Structure formats: structure tokens, C-alpha cells
Structure 1
Amino acid sequence: MAYPRPKAATPSIKADFKLINYQDYDDFLLSSGTTQDRCYLDSEEVTRQFAELGYRSTGEAITREEFKKRVAAVNRYLNPRYEPFVMASERLESHSEPVLVELALRERANRVGIISTIIFLRCIEKGVEISGYIDYAHRLGSEDWKPIFTGRKRLKPTVTDLGFYNWQTGRVISNDSFFYRVKCTKRHGLMYQHVYDRLMIMVDPKSPPGENTTKKNIKSDTYEQAYLLDHVVRQRI
């Protein structure tokens, strides 16, 4: 549950989906021949040879080796090999940046889907104040966090996160993520609905964070403001 969706199939992979319907290369060649081929040539072997050479063929002429490679590529896409995750925060020092320390404590639980953490950060970036909400589990699965946990890269909200606000320009951006859908009502304002248990996470500071959700404020010299919304994920109802 904690892994992001597989990447969309490339146009070439989509075009080759049909290849896995054939038992083997010979079956593919035989299907590529026309009815006239089979009628006049009167031999499946000759029909296959003609199809392989691209003569009187209703389909694309490809070599045996290319057929194998393309079928293998489709199978790899449809049946990806499981690769266990590596903890990006494994070597994090206990005296590191407070936000990173708290995120390190939650990394494994977010990766396996026990909890789903929304990160709120407000910071100064190139002289401009920005803030936003980050789906921690989604970003764990979509980018390398080792540079962040080692301090080589600063964690900050971006325009592709759940929420982003530029305080100078007034630019506001909201996006659905793999685990959350953006909701907004007159009564509760901005909310995030978890896609698995469909419970709402409230971000209004005047409201409780929601069922199965707790809020933790973090004091940090790196950020103007930082807090975490930890949502314990229930089984989908």
C-alpha cells in the first residue's frame, strides 16, 4: 500500500501488449500472414517465412530476437520484480535537524502503510516565503531521500505537492496525491481525504485534526513553522 503507482506504460510498451497473446514467435508469424497467403502458399512454414521477411504480411515484420526482447519488456512491466525498500534515514544522527529526526522515526511506518503523514512546512526560499503540505509516503516512494536525510538537500514544499503557497505572489496550488484527495468545504475549509479509509484530515488550526489523526508541532531553526499530521490508516471500509 505504501508504494506509488507503477509508472504509466510507454507508447512502445502499450503497442506491444498484443505480443503476449502469442504462444511463441512462430505463432506470431503465422498470425501475421493473410488468408491469401495461407490459401496460395499451402504451407504454414512458408507462410511464416514470408511474414518474417515482411512480404504479404498484415502486421509488423520483426525478428525472432526482437520479438523475445519486446515480449520480455511487456512482462517486466506487467509483473515488476519486488524490491524491498531501503531506509533512507538509517544513518541519521540523533542531533540532526528536528524535522528530519521526526520524519526518520516515521519513515518505516509510512513506507509500509501503517501511518500516513502529512508534512506542513513554512520556510524562506531564495528570499521568498513559501509554505505547503507534503504527502510524506508519496514522496518517499517517488524520490531519493538520502540527500535530504544527510543534509545535502533541503526538504521544502513544491508546486507538485498536496498544497503550495507563495506568500509573495499569492500563488496557491493544490494537487491530489497517491494517498490523498484534496477537499474543501465552507464549514471546514481545506481538508485531505485518505484514499484507503476515506477519513478526513483537517488542516484548520482551530479544528481537531480528525479521526485517527494526531498533530505534532516541531521547533526548528531551519523552518519558520513545521508540524506533522500523523494519520493511522484503517482498513478500507
Structure 2
Amino acid sequence: SVIFIRDHNALGQEVSGYIDYAHRLKTQDFEPYFSGKKRLMPGRSDLCHKEHRAATPAPAPASTSHLQQGRVDSYYNWKTQVSTSNSSPNFEVIYDDPNGLLFKNKRDKKILNVDPLSGPGEDSNRTFLQSDLYIHVVIYDHNIRTV
């Protein structure tokens, strides 16, 4: 699964990004998140991460900004104006596709489309969650078929 989160960090910066949930579970202790002691937030080592300084007018959420800009920047820091993205052991980030930001599953090679106006792709589901803890949360479940 890939989790999209958009919210404000402790410094008041708007942060959004896509988290490879399986990879994070293997590399990080999730007990503080599950117990409510800590909030799950995207970081620079996740699939994609975007920070918006509080003094700068925030652009559209990362999941829809490609509709206005022609594509999504996987990571964009407004202070340094640097854009980056990170693939994970499970997903390759495709950030230069004309259709916007995509993730390619490394095991079955199928594409996960995060554009809210398009289907999520074969063997994938998109679930928008209402949350009092975050501005915006979307879970993309990608099912890998085994033979």
C-alpha cells in the first residue's frame, strides 16, 4: 500500500508525500503511531515528499497539483527550490510521465496512478479517508497476484 498524507509539521510548514507502507513497516517501529503517541508524516526518504513554507501561499495538494502544473513534483522545497523523489524496494517513482505522478510496482511491473481524476490502475484501489488528525489522507492498495 501507498499512503498519501498532507498536513502541517511542527514548524507550520505544509508537508505532503507518498509513503510506501510496507517499506516503512520494515524499517521503522510503528508502535508510537499505532498507540497515538506520534503522528505518521511523510519524510524526505519516502517515495515522494513536498514541503511548503508557511509564508508562501500553499499550492494545490500534491495529488491534484499535476492537473494545474502539468505534472507533480515528487519533492519540492520552496526554500531551496529543489525537487527530488525516492524509489523504494517496492515502487519505482515515475515523475516525468505526461499523465502525472505514477508509481511502478517492482514485483509485478503494474502502474499505480495517483491522479484523483483517473483510475488507480490494474489490481489497485483508492480510498479517501476523513480524518481529524490530517488535512488529507488517501490509501492506495496495490494487490499483487501470486501464481
Q: Normalization by structure 1: what TM-score?
A: 0.48
In structure 1, the residue matched to 2:17 is 132
- Say whether residues 1:145 and 2:30 are aligned partners: yes
Partner AA of 2:4 in structure 1? F
Alpha carbons of structure 1 residues 142 and 213: separation in structure 2 relative to 1, 3 Å: same
- Say whether residues 1:226 and 2:137 are aligned partners: yes
In structure 1, the residue matched to 2:116 is 205
Distance 1:139 1:133 in 2: 11
Which protein shows a greater Rg?
1
TM-fit CA distance, 1:185? 4.1
Q: Residue by residue, what CA displacement relative to the aligned partner does 1:156-179 show, whole Å, maximum 9, x if unpaired?
A: 000000000012243543101010
Distance 2:5 2:127 in 1: 12
In structure 1, the residue matched to 2:66 is none
Q: Which has the higher contact order (CA 8 A, sep 6+)?
A: 2
Q: Residue by residue, what CA displacement relative to the aligned partner does 1:146-204 show, whole Å, maximum 9, x if unpaired?
A: 11100111100000000000122435431010100111344321100111100000011
- Say whether residues 1:122 and 2:6 are aligned partners: yes
Partner AA of 1:177 in structure 2? S
Assess if the C-alpha contact under 8 Å between 1:147 and 1:153 holds in 2: yes
Assess if the C-alpha contact under 8 Å between 1:166 and 1:172 holds in 2: no
Distance 2:17 2:83 in 1: 9
Structure 2, unaligned stretches of length 5 or more? Answer: 54-76
Structure 1, unaligned stretches of length 5 or more? Answer: 1-116
Q: Report % sequence identity.
A: 38
SS of alignment partner, residue 132 of structure 1: strand
Distance 1:135 1:186 in 2: 20
TM-fit CA distance, 1:228? 0.2
Equivalent residues in 2 for 1:1-237 (5 A)? 117-125=1-9, 126-168=11-53, 169-170=77-78, 171-235=82-146
Distance 1:134 1:214 in 2: 16
In structure 2, the residue matched to 1:113 is none
Partner AA of 1:208 in structure 2? G
Alpha carbons of structure 1 residues 147 and 235: separation in structure 2 relative to 1, 3 Å: same
TM-fit CA distance, 1:209? 0.5
Distance 1:186 1:176 in 2: 15
Partner AA of 1:158 in structure 2? G
Distance 1:160 1:190 in 2: 17
Distance 1:155 1:199 in 2: 27
* RMSD over aligned Cα atoms: 1.5
Q: How many residue pairs align between the two structures?
A: 120
Distance 1:144 1:186 in 2: 34
Distance 2:85 2:92 in 1: 10
Distance 1:172 1:136 in 2: 22
Q: Normalization by structure 2: what TM-score?
A: 0.77
Q: Residue by residue, what CA displacement relative to the aligned partner does 1:28-84 show, whole Å, maximum 9, x if unpaired?
A: xxxxxxxxxxxxxxxxxxxxxxxxxxxxxxxxxxxxxxxxxxxxxxxxxxxxxxxxx
Query: Which structure dedicates a bigger proportion of its chain to strand?
Result: 2
